[in-house]
Amino acid sequence: MNNYIPKILGAIINFVSYFSSRFAAKLAIDLFSMPKKGKIQAEEGEYLKSAIQEDLYYDKLSIKTYHWKGSKETILLTHGWESNSFRWKDLIQLLKKEDYNIISIDAPAHGASGGKLFNALLYSECINVVVKRFNVHTIIGHSVGGMATVFFQHKYQLKSIERLILLGAPADFIGVFSRYESMMGYNKRVSKALKNYVLKYYNHLPEYFSPAVFSKEITAKGLIIHDKKDRIIPYKDGLKFKQNYSNATFIATKGFGHGLKSELVYQHILDFLNE
């Protein structure tokens, strides 16, 4: 039954579009922006208690941060959709052994952060707040966390950011959008209204928001890791970063999927950090 729910909701929004395409677009955007999962479970909360927790704020939105102190450079971890800071547990343990100063953030509407709606541009502004508070040098972003990281650095061009590590990151917003539209089965009226909605509220059409293209203007040293069997963000997205991010190393993996939770991936990260 769960497999049919997106199509059922999509059919309802398609029906609404014949009366008001603007309202249909708002419904579609809200649905696209509202995570169903990602809140902290009991086991996850117990582990996260090992960190120093601090709430920061962006435009009255609370941002939960976790801090594991170390004497080496400061690394920020940015998770993806319907996740939270606990997803980094294994990597955090390895980084602690290396004595890195580790910060993790719960995205808007995820984990213990505030808000009900999420998008990568909002996430990027939260990242900016955290980077400046903790004087971050390196950011490791998974999935849309990587997308938001690129949006942040492209906009602010902070010289203090020395390295970016992107794990299974989407190369462009239009790709994410089109996969969402396909999953929901939206008609052309809704698709057109969605583009107009983005243009109205974000001053650009969806095609503009391309992390891969934005990476051309980023000078921080980069590491891009993408799995050939990623079923969430296609491998071709990783290749787009490889083509555009001139100061980055690209590593293709096979068999770790979108999550990229593996000792091999973590070793690639540690090697890159220790160069």
| Side-by-side strand order, sheet with 138-142 | 52-58, 61-68, 101-105, 74-78, 138-142, 163-167, 221-227, 248-253
Specify whether 126 is located in the same domain as 238: yes
Q: Which pLDDT does position 74 carry in this prediction?
A: 98
- Range 195-210 average pLDDT: 94
Q: Per the structure, how many domains does the chain have? A: 2
- Among 81, 42, 46, residue whose Cα is nearest residue 66: 46
Specify whether 103 is located in the same domain as 225: yes
Specify whether 229 is located in the same domain as 255: yes
Q: State yes or no: pLDDT of 95 exceeds 60.
A: yes
Q: Determine contact, residues 63/118, Cβ cutoff 8 Å.
A: no
Q: State yes or no: pLDDT of 3 exceeds 70.
A: no
CA atoms of 62 and 52, how far apart (whole Å):
16
**What's the pLDDT tens digit per position in 119-153?**
999 999 999 999 999 999 999 999 999 999 999 99
Q: State yes or no: pLDDT of 97 exceeds 90.
A: yes
**What's the pLDDT tens digit per position in 7-48?**
899 999 999 999 999 999 999 999 999 998 999 999 999 999
Specify whether 57 is located in the same domain as 108: yes
| Average pLDDT taken over every residue of the chain | 95
- Please give the share of the chain, as a percent, with pLDDT higher than 70: 99
Q: State yes or no: pLDDT of 266 exceeds 80.
A: yes
Specify whether 74 is located in the same domain as 119: yes
CA atoms of 145 and 168, how far apart (whole Å):
9
Sign of the torsion angle spanned by Cα atoms 204, 35, 169, 186:
negative
Specify whether 164 is located in the same domain as 236: yes
Specify whether 71 is located in the same domain as 120: yes
Sequence letter at residue 150: V
CA atoms of 214 and 258, how far apart (whole Å):
22
Neighbouring CB atoms inside 10 A of 9's CB total 15
Specify whether 133 is located in the same domain as 57: yes
Q: Which pLDDT does position 200 carry in this prediction?
A: 93
- Range 108-124 average pLDDT: 96
Q: Which pLDDT does position 2 carry in this prediction?
A: 59
Phi, then psi, of 260 in degrees rounded to 5: 55, 35
Domain final position from 188, 209, 230: 209
Specify whether 134 is located in the same domain as 259: yes
Domain range for 13 is 1-33+173-209
- Among 191, 209, 202, 168, residue whose Cα is nearest residue 81: 168
Domain final position from 162, 193, 209: 209
Specify whether 217 is located in the same domain as 196: no
Where residue 149 sits, what CATH number does that domain have?
Answer: 3.40.50.1820
Specify whether 158 is located in the same domain as 241: yes
Q: State yes or no: pLDDT of 59 exceeds 70.
A: yes
Specify whether 147 is located in the same domain as 165: yes
Sequence letter at residue 158: L
Confidence class of residue 1 from pLDDT cuts 50, 70 and 90?
very low
